Structure 1
Amino acid sequence: MADIPVHDGGSKADEVEGAEITETKDVLRGRKPSAGKLRRVDSLQMEAGNVSSIRAHGVQAAGWAATLHLAFQSIGVVYGDIGTSPLYVYSSTFTKGIKEKDDILGVLSLILYTLFLSPLVKYCFIVLWANDHGNGGTFALYSLISRYAKVNLIPNQQAEDAMLSNYKLDTPSSQMKRAQWIKGKLENSQTAKLVLFLVTILGVSMVMGDGILTPCISVLSAVSGIKEKATSLSEGTIAIISIVILIMIFSVQRFGTDKVGYTFAPIILLWFSFIAGIGMYNLYAHGAGVLRAFNPKYMVDYFKRNGKEGWLSLGGVVLCITGTEAMFADLGHFNIRAIQLSFSTILLPSVSLSYMGQAAYLTKFPGEVSDAFYKSIPGPLFWPQFVVAVAAAIIASQAMISGAFQILSQSQALGCFPRVKVVHTSAKYEGQVYIPEINMVMMLACILVTGSFRTTTNIGNAYGITVVSTEFITTSMVTLIMLIIWKTSIWKIALFYAVYATLELSYLSAVLSKFVEGGFLPVLFAFVLMIIMSIWHYVHVKRYKYELANKVSSSYIRDLALKPDLTRPPGIGLLYSELVEGVPPIFAHFVETIPSVHSVLVFVSVKHLPVSAVEARERFLFRQVEPRDHRMFRCVVRYGYTDTVEEPERFESLLIEQLQDFIHQEFFFLDSQQARPSGNRVGAEETSTQQQNPRLSSGSIQPVDNVDSADSSARSTTVGRIQGVEEEKQFIEKQKEKGVVYLLGETEVVAANDSSVVKRVIVNHVYSFMRKNFRQGQQILSIPRRRLLKVGMTYEI
């Protein structure tokens, strides 16, 4: 039995006003019962079909006023990191000083063309279009691929999920053999699924490393400028000042960044105005001859002159694109046109002028490369620029820390990270979250890195690895999207991958050469995070498969009434399980341990789909557990990876309201099935033709074309149906008033007796340690302790 409840905003206050058939419309939320037009699907009987495609949020057309408004806001959210790169790029590139003045032109040429090829061409005009309903980032790419190819490691796909408004997709056509072939290889290869998952969490781990290193290098490079006026300060003192600022940044994270776009945009815009103006001043004061760097010949000559040293210097050049991934990751708050506009008209000209201005200054004063940014500032503007630089560094740090929280929140939602407390700090910006435990860990890591490395050069060696690794992963995943979703010309795909893979692997080889000089740090961060995420997800999948293999049989449910000691206390019981199909094994353990079942029992499964958001009216999916007089139901509660789980009171209210709506629709469905000839019964075979309209596939009751011609007998039958429905709904309401109890299985997972030593260590010790030291299920779901009942059970996997 399966149904998709469609809730159109009706309330429990809807009543039957009389016996006339036309007066049933209020109860039916504007729909009249028609046995001939009821349509249902059941995920146990059929696969998900095609549904029509709609334009995603990220590509929706917007008026110029709205686009300009979003573009302004994006300046404060997206560009803090890449916008502060001029603070340290030249010092990180020329670590051993400038040997020849033409090297300045070669490095400037590398910087300008890297900015042009990577953030402008690749991200603004290609990657941004690979969004998941307007959301970007590594998990967005993974979720997009997961909807077109069944690559999820957890077997919980349901046909009904594809009917959600935000799940829209077009499957590859039968003519596109290449796309179908690649899709088939992905779906049939467990190795390919595992590799894709590992690549995804590697990208996530690298972004997390970025969230630690960005505050360190941004704040340290900004504060280092004070040496120009206070020459007596040592590196240790500057590091201590930076650490104090970092502690302040992490201390205020709990307040959130609700007005981040409005508050930070003017400061970052002022920063861009400063660096652009000072850049133009330096071009005027020291000569505009550096503009010759637009000729790529200077790049070639630079490598010819410097050989291996020139190749190694790429590790500093690549820092000019730090924070590029933020343009994609933060797309969900804006739109594509806004990002394209703000980058091409504000950021790119500003930072380019800053790099050109510093290059012009260095042609006259090559010995001052270690402090080129602050040395090139005209005297009267030093202190205003210093204050704005520190403010911009703080903003860049804030944005990356918030982005790291968002990524971990998505990881947890998809079962890839241990349970932690996620606080949603903004009702307006859905991605603004705060994770107390992670905030503390990141702060300690930043203090350790800043105190140990002390200079931007050493931190830059580590920073480059996170930047290039993340970009290469994005390139690879977008290439896969081009193959199986966009179905782009193979020559365009080959050109895209050849250009950007070559560019990014060249940069990666350069930064990896500095592994022992600090480059090991992000690798260490990523390794630790990947181990944690891999182990947690591995056991998560094994637990799900155990429940799937040990579901409670239908005969056990039928025989419950025969148990002499079983009681049915009043109230509604919500039994939580990750299983989305069938009755979980923990239920039988509950009955054997506590021989009672509430008058109404709902098996609740919280499921996170590979979509950014699920509309509230489509969140609950109900089924009746037979026999019907037991009043047991299965309920899958579906969330996207950016959705917020409701507070208990709100959740209960929504669930019970949707349950009543389901009972209403289910009553008429059963009645209509009994009234129809068996040869004309609607089954799963018919539903596949109805999926172009989710309303036709969701169990909603469709209008009758000529209801006014119904005879008096039909009217009487309809009134009887309505009365039966209302009695059942009133029973549910009364049980709600008597109390809602949460039933939670406290499952302990252990390795089976015949498991290998490695598996025993992973499951029995590492996973057990993480589970005990992170938050428990009731804390994540915000279940009230006074209404919680837990029963322990052991799963052998």
Structure 2
Amino acid sequence: MQYKELIHAIGLMYAVLSAVQGIKVQATTLNQDTIVGISVAILVLLFSVQKLGTDKVGFMFAPAVFVWFMMIGIIGVYNIFKHEPGMLRAFNPKYIYDYFKANKKDGWISLGGVVLCITGTEAMFADLGHFSVRAIQIGFTSIVFPSLLAAYIGQAAYLFKHPEDIGQTFYKSIPGSIYWPMFVVAVIAAIIASQAMISATFSIIKQSLALGCFPRVKIVHTSKKFVGQIYIPEMNWLLMILCIIITAGFRSTAKIGNAYGICVVAVMLVTTSLLTIIMLMIWRTNIFLILAFLLIFGSVEVVYFSSVLYKFKDGGWLPLLFAGIFLAIMSVWHYGTVKRYEYEMMNKISMDWVVGLGSNLGVVRVPGVGLAYTKLALGVPAIFSHYITNLPAMHSVLIFVCLKYLPISVVPERERFLFRRVGPKAFGMYRAIVRYGYQDTEDEHETFQSSLFYHLKEFLKSDSLLTESAATVADQRHFAEQQLQSTSLSIYPSNNSIMPSDIRRSDESTGAVGTETEVAFLERSIQAGVVYIMGQTEVRASRESSFVKGFLIDIAYSFLRKNSRESRLALHIPSESLLKVGMINYV
């Protein structure tokens, strides 16, 4: 996942810098410092407008990209027929064998540059989450692939006559009369491709956050129509700083291209490996088809990967360095989160202890609703005992809210909430498991609150119907037993006897909610006020922990927690409705 982020960042720099470098074909007096300065200015401008949202400038994306592909395709066809029509013979696979036979090691090394011919199309798939699979398939086969083939074959035809222009083949092969319009379109296309990569980076971070593999960051949804259009300020500015440093440091597309190639081919290898596992364990594909897939795609990717690794010292080390940094951050955060969850599981409160407190839970019950957030989907969290030990009062209705992020894209609204009671009815305690997919959007607290209470009322109504139905069956069975027993004494039962159903209703009337139903009692509690209860936990390594564990928990994980976004802000909880309960977890 961190490799995908690196692809987008390095591809962004490569696209912008390579597009701007074309200006040297006409403006020969410009030096490389000026080119780098223009590229940096474009990057700063590009990152500065991210907070406006993709939908604000998205109307120009499709027309500009369409014009770009049409123009490079037409120019490619023009160069083929003008310079060398016989270049179409390159489709013959025999020339692949002849090329490697003639160039041997140099031919293998050149594969690192050849792979850059296909990496540009990766930007199209970067926004796969914003478009359907069918749209990508149609766009690629009908426009992207033919245009790229024509463009590259046309450049090869141009080089056949002008081999001295190998450094600026694309811009040199453009007819002089349309050079400047083509340069403008190329820069716009590079900016659009960069925008797609930035948006894809935000989506990957959001998915990592939902799966518990990345520290909490601020996520801003910039569009009310499209769920996938988000903006993450922290990552936006961090990405901008890294792009500027690398662009100013490398100063050329050659080294950035080497780093880009390693990223792309490494992701291809990982994708092929994971898809092979899916075919084997999930799809249950025929083993011979799996081996054929792995052999065909894997062998080609291994050859390309070995070639790009040859240029490791010439910029190829960059993605591995950043991948190691991101992997360390994600691993430390995941390790600390798992240890914290294990502590909560080991120290959760038994239901027998809760029942032993009585109907008032050992404290004064005040009107209102308390929403206590917890990681536990089962059992009563330790924060509950800590809360009632330090405070003499508790809300009349207490709901333990557990947010779960599932490894699926979207959870339907009707399946988002799961409820169950915690203890007897008189306790007024419930558990709500709220499920999200990694592409779902967490609602603002007003919307979340109203939706939560609506589904809780529906749960109480359905639970009441089930209880009455079960009680009716039990009453009928009990009444039948009484009739059988009374036949030995009298043919007719006494009219003054109290039926079990009447006893049950009488018992309910003396419960904590009085004569009111649970739904009406819940509505009155909501009107009295809603308070969000969250644990302010501090995670520390236990005394018997090793030095490595102490470093990971007390220093690394603690640093990430202190510098990550506060959980209440990530959940859109207003500070005036928040109650924090401090605890120390020794893991």
Q: Percent identity?
A: 52
CA contact (8 A) 1:325 1:471 kept: no
1:613 match: secondary structure? coil
Structure 1 residue 323: Cα displacement: 5.1
What CA deviation, in whole Å up to 9, does each residue of 1:75-134 have, x standing for no partner? xxxxxxxxxxxxxxxxxxxxxxxxxxxxxxxxxxxxxxxxxxxxxxxxxxxxxxxxxxxx
1:561 match: secondary structure? coil
What is the aligned partner in structure 1 of residue 277 from structure 2? 480
Instruction: Give the one of 787, 790, 793 matched to 2:577.
Output: 787
Aligned-partner Cα distance in 2 for 1:450–1:543: 40
Instruction: Give the one of 319, 336, 355 matched to 1:522.
Output: 319
Instruction: Give the one of 212, 231, 235 matched to 2:32.
Output: 235
Larger radius of gyration: 2
CA contact (8 A) 2:126 2:196 kept: no
Deviates more, 1:321-330 or 1:356-365: 321-330
What is the aligned partner in structure 2 of residue 595 from structure 1? 392
In the alignment, does 2:413 pair up with 1:616?
yes
Instruction: Give the one of 540, 546, 561 matched to 1:771.
Output: 561
* Cα gap change, 1:293 to 1:636, in 2 (>3 Å): same
* Cα gap change, 1:624 to 1:458, in 2 (>3 Å): same
2:434 match: secondary structure? strand
Please list, as runs of the form range in 1=range in 2, the aligned pairs for 1:660-739 lying within 5 A after superposition.
Answer: 660-676=457-473, 727-739=517-529
Q: Which amino acid aligns with 1:552?
A: I
Q: Which amino acid aligns with 2:363?
A: L
Instruction: Give the one of 85, 99, 105 matched to 1:288.
Output: 85
TM-score with structure 2 setting the length: 0.92
What is the aligned partner in structure 2 of residue 648 from structure 1? 445
Please list, as runs of the form range in 1=range in 2, the aligned pairs for 1:242-261 lying within 5 A after superposition.
Answer: 242-258=39-55
What CA deviation, in whole Å up to 9, does each residue of 1:294-328 have, x standing for no partner? 11121122222222221111111111221555555
Aligned-partner Cα distance in 1 for 2:130–2:40: 30
Q: Which amino acid aligns with 1:482?
A: M
What CA deviation, in whole Å up to 9, does each residue of 1:729-752 have, x standing for no partner? 111111111111000001111112
Q: Which amino acid aligns with 1:772?
A: K
CA contact (8 A) 2:360 2:427 kept: no
What is the aligned partner in structure 2 of residue 796 from structure 1? 586
Q: What CA RMSD, in Å, does the superposition of the two structures yield over aligned residues?
A: 2.5
* Cα gap change, 1:545 to 1:325, in 2 (>3 Å): farther
Q: Which amino acid aligns with 1:496?
A: F
Aligned-partner Cα distance in 2 for 1:725–1:516: 79
Q: Which amino acid aligns with 2:230?
A: V
What is the aligned partner in structure 2 of residue 509 from structure 1? 306
2:395 match: secondary structure? coil
TM-score with structure 1 setting the length: 0.68
Aligned-partner Cα distance in 1 for 2:458–2:542: 43
Q: Which amino acid aligns with 1:597?
A: M
Aligned-partner Cα distance in 2 for 1:327–1:234: 32
Structure 1 residue 396: Cα displacement: 0.3
Deviates more, 1:762-771 or 1:295-304: 295-304
What CA deviation, in whole Å up to 9, does each residue of 1:574-594 have, x standing for no partner? 000111111111111111122
1:599 match: secondary structure? strand
Aligned-partner Cα distance in 1 for 2:514–2:146: 70
CA contact (8 A) 2:361 2:427 kept: no
What is the aligned partner in structure 2 of residue 391 from structure 1? 188
Structure 1 residue 562: Cα displacement: 7.7
Instruction: Give the one of 238, 254, 260 matched to 1:463.
Output: 260
Aligned-partner Cα distance in 2 for 1:748–1:392: 48
What is the aligned partner in structure 1 of residue 241 from structure 2? 444
Structure 1 residue 498: Cα displacement: 0.8
* Cα gap change, 1:304 to 1:595, in 2 (>3 Å): farther
Which structure's relative contact order is higher, taking Cα pairs within 8 Å and 6+ residues apart? 1
How many pairs does the alignment contain? Answer: 561
Please list, as runs of the form range in 1=range in 2, the aligned pairs for 1:366-385 lying within 5 A after superposition.
Answer: 366-385=163-182
Deviates more, 1:294-303 or 1:263-272: 294-303
Structure 1 residue 664: Cα displacement: 0.7
Aligned-partner Cα distance in 1 for 2:475–2:585: 43
Aligned-partner Cα distance in 2 for 1:645–1:632: 24
* Cα gap change, 1:600 to 1:463, in 2 (>3 Å): same
What CA deviation, in whole Å up to 9, does each residue of 1:448-488 have, x standing for no partner? 11101111111001001110111111111111111122211
Structure 1 residue 726: Cα displacement: 7.1
Aligned-partner Cα distance in 2 for 1:327–1:667: 53
CA contact (8 A) 1:574 1:603 kept: yes
Aligned-partner Cα distance in 1 for 2:40–2:475: 76
What CA deviation, in whole Å up to 9, does each residue of 1:752-790 have, x standing for no partner? 221111111001100000100111111110110001011
Q: Which amino acid aligns with 1:670?
A: T
Structure 1 residue 674: Cα displacement: 2.7
CA contact (8 A) 1:663 1:725 kept: no
Structure 1 residue 411: Cα displacement: 0.3
Structure 1 residue 627: Cα displacement: 2.1
Instruction: Give the one of 619, 639, 644 matched to 2:436.
Output: 639
Instruction: Give the one of 45, 52, 68 matched to 1:271.
Output: 68
